[in-house]
Chain A
Amino acid sequence: MNWTWFHRLGSPPHIYRIAGTLTPWFAWPAGLLIAAALYGGLVLAPPDYQQGEGFRILYVHAPSAWLAVMIYGVMASAAAVGLIWRMKVAHAVAASCAGVGAWFTAVSLLTGMLWGKPMWGTYWVWDPRLTAQLILLFLYLGYMGLRAGIDDLGRADKASAVLAIVGVVNIPIIRYSVEWWNSIHQAPSVMKMDRPSMPFDMLAPLLMMLLGFTLYFAAVMLVRLRAEILRRERTASWIREVLR
Chain B
Amino acid sequence: MTEFFAMGGYAVFLWPAYLVTLIAIVANVLIARRAHDGAKQEARRRFDLEDEGSTT
Compute how far the CA of A223 lies from the CA of B31 in the bound complex, rounded to whole angstroms: 10
List B10-26 residues whose CB lies under 8 Å from chain A.
10, 13-14, 16-18, 20-21, 24-25
What residues of A have a CB within 8 angstroms of the CB of B44 in the complex? Answer: 243
Q: Check A115 for interface membership: any CB of B closer than 8 A.
A: yes
User: Which of B13, B28, B43 is the one whose CB lies under 8 Å from A243?
Assistant: B43
Q: Check A61 for interface membership: any CB of B closer than 8 A.
A: yes
List A107-135 residues whose CB lies under 8 Å from chain B.
107, 110-111, 114-115, 117-118
Within the complex, the shortest CB–CB distance from B7 to chain A, in Å, comes to 4
Question: Do A107 and B21 form a contact, CB below 8 Å, given A226-B36, A230-B39, A230-B40?
Answer: yes
Question: Do A224 and B32 form a contact, CB below 8 Å, given A56-B7, A234-B46, A240-B47?
Answer: yes
Q: Check A231 for interface membership: any CB of B closer than 8 A.
A: yes
User: Which of A104, A111, A230 is the one whose CB lies under 8 Å from B17?
Assistant: A111
B21 touches A223 (CB 8 A): no
Looking at chain B's contact residues, the main secondary structure is: helix
Q: How large is the interface on B (under 10, 10 to 19, 20 to 34, 35 or more residues)?
A: 20 to 34
What residues of B have a CB within 8 angstroms of the CB of A207 in the complex? Answer: none
User: Which segment of A47-55, A136-144, A174-182, A192-200 sits at the interface?
Assistant: A47-55
Within the complex, the shortest CB–CB distance from A96 to chain B, in Å, comes to 9
A110 touches B36 (CB 8 A): no
User: Which of A34, A61, A103, A117 is the one whose CB lies under 8 Å from B27?
Assistant: A103
B35 touches A110 (CB 8 A): no
User: 10 closest pairs, A vs B, by CB?
Assistant: A53-B8, A230-B39, A227-B35, A54-B10, A223-B32, A60-B21, A227-B36, A111-B17, A53-B7, A114-B17
